[in-house]
Amino acid sequence: MAAAFLPPLPDNFEPTRATLHAYANAVGSILRAHAVAHPKWWHVSLKITPHGLITDNMSLPESGIVNLTMDLINHEVVVRSTGGDERRVSMREGLTGTQMGERLIEIAAALGLEGSYSREKFENDDPREYAPEAAAIWFEAAANVSHLFNHHLQTLEGTVSQVQLWPHNFDLACEWFGTRVETHEENGEVAHHPSQINVGFYPAGRAYFYSNPWPFEADVLTKHDLPHGAEWHTDGWEGSILYYDQIAGDPEAANELLDYARAVHDIASPTLMA
């Protein structure tokens, strides 16, 4: 029997998810210090590859580049630089978030990188559990979700982002940008923000998909029903939610997720055009 496109996440996934989250924050701290800054902070995100999660390339002081991979096939963080240098830190050893972050900073220093690191992003001394089998199931799901999000983006007109995993919340997401622009005053300066609709996958607790138009025109949007059990969400944050377990294991899960993303886009995008 073929594996489910969106496999059910293991009941015991949360400790492993928390460890992946902690290690992603450690990896992200290297990006914050050394990656070329992007105005939308895309430089601190990780991208899905066939082996796991990879950073953008970062320049070394004299010549060459370096990147980091959270390898979810071999379950290690790999630091690779031009010239064939590879340094590995196992994710199976139970390292705390603090230990992983400091280990990666030591490797960066050995490669000649020095900087001010946001240690508060990864400093945590809680014990870390890591079940490779659980991590592999999540990665299979995340890779397939990334595939679907890319397919969704290809069907849209206008400006879109990459599919990215954000270390801060450990969610996989992408955005479409409308032509409507919102103006706000921030710290005495006027800032202009494009309207947008994101779609994402958040695996903590009861895992769910979300798609959140911004600005959220509740009076217009909530009049419309969403497919496959998805609902509008206005308690604490505004957007929409489709729980992962509502479609996981379903042979039609891929189509159902695409239906959901497209429905939110078709309902909300007219409100986000200038």
User: What are the residues whose beta carbons fall under 8 Å from the beta carbon of 84, sequence distance 6 or more?
Assistant: none
61 prior amide bond cis, ω within 30: no
At 241, which amino acid appears?
A: I
Over residues 78-83, mean pLDDT: 96
CA-CA distance, 211 to 265, in Å (whole number)?
Answer: 8
pLDDT (0 to 100) of residue 33: 97
C-beta of residue 127 within 8 angstroms of C-beta of residue 96 = yes
What is the Rg, in whole angstroms, of the alpha carbon atoms belonging to the chain?
20
CA-CA distance, 158 to 176, in Å (whole number)?
Answer: 7
CA-CA distance, 93 to 110, in Å (whole number)?
Answer: 22
Task: Give 6's DSSP letter.
Answer: S
pLDDT (0 to 100) of residue 59: 98
CA dihedral 157, 144, 17, 48 (to 10 degrees): -70
Over residues 207-236, mean pLDDT: 98
Helix (H) or strand (E) holding 178: strand 171-186
Confidence of residue 49 (pLDDT cuts 50, 70, 90): very high
Considering only residues 16 and 189, tell me which one the structure prediction assigns the higher pLDDT: 16
Classify the C-alpha dihedral 71-139-166-46 as positive or negative.
positive
Average pLDDT, the chain: 97
C-beta of residue 247 within 8 angstroms of C-beta of residue 241 = no
C-beta of residue 6 within 8 angstroms of C-beta of residue 141 = yes
Does 1 score more than 60 pLDDT? no
- Tens-place pLDDT, residues 104-126: 999 999 999 999 999 999 999 99
- Tens-place pLDDT, residues 130-156: 999 999 999 999 999 999 999 999 999
Does 2 score more than 60 pLDDT? no
Structure tokens at 65: 């580049």
Domain ranges of the chain: 13-121, 132-272
Confidence of residue 3 (pLDDT cuts 50, 70, 90): low
